[in-house]
Structure 1
Amino acid sequence: MNTLASLTRAQKAAAILVAMGKPSASRMLKFFKQEELKALIEAARLLRTIPQADLEQIVAEFEAEFMEGAGLLDSADDMNAILTESLSPEEMNAIMGRGGSGMQEVLTPVWPEMQRVDPARVADFLNVEHPQTSAVIMSKLAPSAAANVLLALEKPLRGEILKRMMSMGVIPDSATQIVENQLRSRVLSERANKDISAGQSRVASLLNEMNKDQADEVMRDLELEGTSDLDGIRARMFSFEDVVFLSQKARVALFDGLSTETLTLCLRGAPAELAEAVLSSISARTRRMIESELGQGADEVTMSDVITARRAIASQAIRMSLEGAFELPSAQSAA
């Protein structure tokens, strides 16, 4: 019987894979590198039986909690069976060095690609994953991308993931690789064909940087050219001028907490209807302060300052709509 202290890292990895059983392990093995698979085979041949308690300790070391309820194992035969059923003879020969030049695979870096995936798509993936796996993924994403994904998750899961992120130590390379392989096969491989929302978001983000007339003109051109899926783009578009189409409740929520300075900047040169839509959605005291400031003029304020402030409010509206605070008027008309 093997003792836990005497096991190598490769033997521990082999123990976990065999304990997972053929269906799950088969999916995992397709994403290991050639030299890693060879090391796993050699390690499995030296294993006999591992008690449940020791196996649980091995899993804990990987800090990922990917498997539950694994039992006792006898490794060498099971590992061979898994490999035989998972890989072709050519792949097996390449792994074991029996002829050929071996498999060469250039893998696309996962995390830059994940940050281009629509946050809702990532959230859907995390909803069916173990919270510890989700915590690993969230810790690897850039903060801006992770924040958008977090907002798309249900609150209970959001809290559970954050708790695990706070208590997480150094993530072993082996655990990270397992996560990356799963993301390649289950998220990134489907993205090009099944997930067009990321592309719609990119186009909408670009149009949101234009003024309303320019963005409307581009959308009309796309429509005349017969471009499909424009409703998905419209649902993600919002400019400061669209404030007049929001409900009173939505406007109150949008302007709550915004600084008087930002609101004043936004209203410089604004049409009367737009100004009233904003002013009627804030407190009487704040309204008087803004109206007084607008009446004094501001020679030092540039149009660039005004545009920047308006885009900041538009971005806030889009973010709040993703959180479910209210629905954008573009989304209502697209429905």
Structure 2
Amino acid sequence: MSDTATELRGREKAAVLLGYVGEDVAAEILKMLDKPVIRSVTSVMTEVKTLNREEVKTVLEEVKSRLTEEVLMIGGKEYVQRVLKKGLGEKDAQKLLEASKQATTFDKLNTVDPKVMANFLSGEHPQTAALMLSLLEPKKAAEILSIMPDELKGDVAMRIANLERITDDALKELEAVLKTQLNIAESHGHEVKGVQAVADILNNASKDTEQGILEMMEEQEPSLAEAIRSLMFVFDDLVDLDDRGIQAILKEISTNDLALALKTATDQLKEKIFKNMSQRAVQILKEEMETMGPVRVSDVEAAQKNIVKVARKLEEEGKIIIASKGGEELIV
């Protein structure tokens, strides 16, 4: 290796790297540097006409070495602010930074093992459990709720349904609990649409959990249970879609999922599905259902949930219209 390659200064190494990666990439890198650094590096680049093979090799090896180190500094708050401002402009960067402040560290709860969370929440006050579950992703909350004691499920679900907003004081109390019990902290005020939150959770729960909670709620607060049901969309509700909606869904799902899902479907729903398929496709589907033999209920429910997710996705994209159980159409 030549002496020149080993004696390069920082700005000279930067100039070599920028010259090697090409104009487009170099331009993107320069956007993220401070003006004094840009002036220093570009002053060197204007003097360089050709790149020595040893110089390029040395610089690339140093970059590779730093990238493979166990500890790599990737910035920090001030670094992120500078990068966003340079990449998005002052106004958009500020908007994004403000939005990021709204994201609470309760998101970390989604990474905690469901069994650990269920055991932890079962020992807390039901209101505490309701607050925490309302902050989780519906699928995660459903998983935790399903393994909590039966006597708590309905109570917790009802408390979630009655939530509208979690105050800063309440979040600070939760934070204190999390800090001591699960080592999670920091948050801000958080708006909660309680009835919608329960509907989303139950849409992701097992059928037994869903039915058990709704039955309990119907006994204690019938109007609340009805409000939740009106926001839920389950596999059996496909029978209420128009033919175009059914056809749109059929284009997005696999024959295997459909065959599994129809195992426990009503005759009315089966006929609705068959009516929107070609005779050949119906024949293939029925043959698959017959040759499939006995299947686990959990597999059937998983297939049904997959199809419901497709329906919800198409609704969000405005490709189908799902009528609520209260008779109101939701147009997206």
Q: TM-score range by the shorter chain?
A: 0.3 to 0.5
The higher relative CO (CA closer than 8 Å, separation ≥ 6) is in 1
- Length-normalised TM-score, structure 2: 0.41
- Length-normalised TM-score, structure 1: 0.40
